[in-house]
Structure formats: C-alpha cells, structure tokens
Amino acid sequence: MNPTRQCSRRAFLVRATASAFAATTVPTLIPATALGRGGAPAPSQRVVLGAIGTGDRGQDVLRHFLQQAECRVAAVCDVRRDMVEQARALVDGRYQNRDCRAYADFRELLARPDIDAVLIASADHWHVPHALAAVRAGKDLYVEKPLGLSLEEDQILRREVLQRRRVFQFGTQQRSDRKFRLACELVRNGCIGTLKHVNVWSPGSEPGGSTRQVPVPATLDYDFWLGPAAWRPYTENLVAVGWAKRWWFVSDFAVGFIAGWGIHPMDIALWGAGDRASGKVEVEGTGTYPAEGICNTAAEWDVNFKFSTGLTLRFCGRPDGAKAPYPREQEWRQRYGAIETHGTAFEGTDGWVHVDRSRLQVHPESLLDLDPEKFAVKLTRSSDQVKSFLAAVQSRQATVSSIESAVRADAFCHVPDIALRLKRKLTYDVKAETFPGDDAANRRLRLRPMRPPWQVS
C-alpha cells in the first residue's frame, strides 16, 4: 500500500488552491439583536474599513472585504493615482454609489474617526510605518506579509499593538486553510511521535532587474512611494503592477522572497513545531545574491537550523522556473509524492506530514482516520482570514495570525538572511530575539536609517 495518502478522501480536507482561500466562510460573532433587515448586520454594527495600498495584492484582499456583510469599505489610499482610482471604482461598484473617498496621503485616511480598521497592503518597506501610524490612530489592523525590514521594526509594532490593545491579523492566510491547521495539529498532538525535523521550501527572489533609468510613471508620486527608503533613480519596472515589479527583490524595499514568500511555509513550520522550535538555535547555510541588475536579495538558499531542543529544520529556496532542483527535491518527491514550489514537511519518530496549498499527505495513512475534535491540542479555528479578522474586531478576541506569531515568523526569515550575508554560523536566542554576544549580527536586527521626516520609534 502506498504510504502516502492525500487528504482528498475526507470531505473537510478538499484540495484547495491559493485562490480558494477567499471562498471559505466562518460563522460570524454578531449577536442576533444587532442584525438589520434580512439578517444583515445593521450599519452601526459593521466594521468601517480603510485600505492603504491598493495595488494588485491590495485589490485582491479588498475584494474579499467587499464580499463581507459585516464590513463597509469607506476609503482607499495609494500613492499611485491609477491604482487608487481603480480601487475606488471597485468599492463604488460593489455598493452602487459614489461614497468611497480616495486619498494619496495615508495620514488623511487615518485621521477619519469613522474608520475602525485598516487593510495595509502597501510596499514592504511601508508595512510597519503604515501599521504603526494606524495603531496610534486607534485602528485595528489587517497587515499583509512580510512584516518589517528589520526585527526591531517588528518589535516596536508588537509593543504598540499590545499596549494599545488593537486587533491585529497578519496576511499568513494558510492558517485559515483546514489542511494546514490539521497538519499542525497532527504534529502538536504527537501523532507522528516526537518531532525531529522540518523541511521548508519556497520560491526565491528573482535575479537581474533592469538598471535603465526611465521617467517616473505620470500616475506615481515616486518621492512619497520611496518614503523612508533612501532616494534612488527610478528604473524600469521598479514600481510596476503584477509580477513585473522589481522592488520585491531590492533590499532597500524588501528582504526578498526569503521573507516575502518564505514566511508562508515557515509560519506553518513554527505553528506545527510549537515549543520544539524554542531555546537557542544554530543557523548556517549557503546562498546566492545576484551580482548584476538591481535585484540584490537572496535568489537561492539552503539553510540549516539546529535547536537546543534537538529539533532540526532545513529551509531552502530557489527562483520559480529555476533549472536546478531544491537540494533534496528528488528525495522529497520520493518520500512525500507530488510537491509544489513551496511546502512544509514534518518528520517525526513515528511518521511524517507534508502540506502545501494543493494537498495534505501523511504517513502512516491511518493518521487521516483520526478525529481532530478529540485532539488535546486544538489550534485556533479559522476558515477565512478576512472574516475571522472582522469577527475579532467585533468581539475583541484573538486572531488566528496574531502579532506575536507575525513577529516570530518574520524573525525566522530575517535570521537565515543575516547568516547568509555574514557567511558564517550564527546562534540565535528565540526568546530574547538576539544573537548572544554577536554585535555584527545584532546590528542587522536593528532599525535601518530612514529618510527624513519618516521614522519608526
């Protein structure tokens, strides 16, 4: 019998692609007395939302918010005039009116007292400055991943979110997919014995990127887009729409796909590992950084983690379409069966669990006969990242992707990047969030210089 059995034989574990995340639902927490006509929430009970960053990803998530009866989108903001007008038309089209306000300056949107919460889907280098301004304005936050350009940025935001008691949801939407949660619950409940090793892999950053200087697009306020980042000439496709954009892979604006993509399977690895991924961890590996073009974030990496608990973890990345396989891809395919360009696999003393956005695969196959409702350890239930955020805003309860989990996952993307850039083994203290006695490594965790007048403190 094939030791790999996909979860499709269970009705509640139907295969799901990334686009299916927006199609799931969860029960709302709105009391019946707050409902208006036809069972719809009364206007006074709806979460009024503003969106900061309305590019392709921002509009994708915005569409999801627009589907929710518990939410009313009132304002959109972007430094690209064409994108913000598209977003406003999207909102007005949904509500069949012309009430949505469009802003170029996020501070004007945040100054509105009627806005309860904000969606932040701006460029990576703006995530924490936008989120910090929002939480200080009294707004709840849905923030796209990754989090900050430095761990200190993340820590400052975490402090403010917790002190001001704002609701925070991170855009690690795999936590709202039942097969990912089941995979992690199987591990956390000892169903594969003692967890010994985790494999994590994701697409890497693209190399290259044109250095040709071109005029700034007429619809873009480039100086405002740069914001806290150092000034640089505008180059071809730097702030393009869709997969053509190059800022994703430029270290002035992003950590690269080691965080931008890698945070998805890494977050699941940490969710499933629990306390096994704690204490101190030794980190070392190899990676390549492009030497030509404007792209300068890790294109490929192979990093090994060794925790003081005895757990080991291997984190690999390579660009989509790369001819070379992942370092152990052939072995993984023989062991787990079909795999995507991203995934997380847990290896225990008594079995293994592999999960990605297409499938859940396990060994032994009897793991799929277990009833998750009988597990002693039950992780936060959510089947829709947006709906669970809105429910948390209304109830003031915890979200499935909290600020604590966001900072932790972000750290486990920064740490391997630092080890690769320093080209040596590092020791990281997970609880203290430092490299003990290593000044050079710790400097890379700290705030980056920011262009006046922008600052994070």
| pLDDT of 331 strictly over 70 | yes
Place 43 in a pLDDT band, splitting at 50, 70 and 90.
confident
The superfamily CATH assigns to domain 18-174 is NAD(P)-binding Rossmann-like Domain (3.40.50.720)
Question: Given this model, what pLDDT does residue 323 score?
Answer: 76
Q: Which residue has the tokens 């699941």?
A: 268
Q: What pLDDT score was predicted for residue 38?
A: 52
Query: How are strands ordered across the β-sheet holding 71-77?
Result: 101-103, 71-77, 47-52, 117-120, 140-143, 168-170
Residue 365 has a CB neighbour count (10 Å cut-off) of 16
Residue 443 has pLDDT above 80, yes or no: yes
Query: Average pLDDT over the chain, rounded to whole?
Result: 91
Q: Is the dihedral of CA 380, 136, 58, 260 positive or negative?
A: negative
CB atoms within 10 A of CB 423: 10
Give CA torsion, residues 230, 411, 361, 399, to 10 deg: -90
Kind plus residue range of the DSSP H or E element containing 159: helix 151-164
Q: Per-residue pLDDT tens for 126-178?
A: 999 999 999 999 999 999 999 999 999 999 999 999 999 999 999 999 999 99
Stretch 446-456: mean pLDDT: 95
Intra-chain end-to-end CA distance of the chain, in Å:
58
Asked whether the beta carbons of 267 and 405 are under 8 A apart, the reply is: yes
Amino acid 11: pLDDT: 32
Tell me: pLDDT of 26 over 80.
no
pLDDT(426) > 50: yes
Provide the b/e sequence for 392-415 (b: ≥16 CB within 10 Å): bbbeeeebbbbbebbbbbbbbbbb
Rounded distance, CA 266 to CA 408, Å?
10
| C-beta of residue 420 within 8 angstroms of C-beta of residue 414 | no
pLDDT reported for residue 321:
77
pLDDT in tens, 84-105: 999 999 999 999 999 999 999 9
pLDDT at 45: 84
Tell me the β-bridge partners of 318.
203
Domains 1-17+178-379+402-457 and 18-174 are alike in CATH topology: no
Contacts of 233 (CB under 8 A, 6+ apart): 213
Looking only at the bridges linking them, the beta strands covering 300-307 and 280-288 are antiparallel
Give pLDDT, residue 245.
Answer: 96
- Tens digits of per-residue pLDDT, 260-289? 999 999 999 999 999 999 999 999 999 999
CB neighbour list of residue 307: distance below 8 Å, 6 or more residues apart: 276, 277, 278, 279, 280, 281, 313
DSSP state of 414: H
The predicted pLDDT at position 425 comes to: 98
Position 160, amino acid: E
Peptide bond into 325 cis (omega under 30): no
Express each pLDDT in 44-72 by its tens digit. Answer: 789 999 999 999 999 999 999 999 999 99
Superfamily of domain 1-17+178-379+402-457: Dihydrodipicolinate Reductase; domain 2 (3.30.360.10)
Domain boundaries, the chain: 1-17+178-379+402-457, 18-174
Q: Is 328 in a helix, a strand, or coil?
A: coil
Range in 34-43, 63-72, 77-86 with the lowest mean pLDDT: 34-43
For 368, phi then psi, to 5°, come to: -80, -5
Distance CA 401, CA 379 (A): 11
Does the pLDDT at position 35 exceed 80? no
Query: Within a 10 A sphere around the Cβ of 233, how many other Cβ atoms?
Result: 11
Q: How far is CA 294 from CA 71, 223, 261, 385, in A?
A: 40, 19, 19, 34
Q: What is the mean pLDDT of residues 176-199?
A: 98
From the centroid of its chain, how far is CA 211? 29
Q: Is the pLDDT of residue 122 over 50?
A: yes
Model pTM greater than 0.85?
yes
In the sheet with 312-318, reading across from the earlier edge strand, the strands are 5-6, 360-363, 352-355, 343-348, 195-203, 312-318, 300-307, 280-288, 426-429
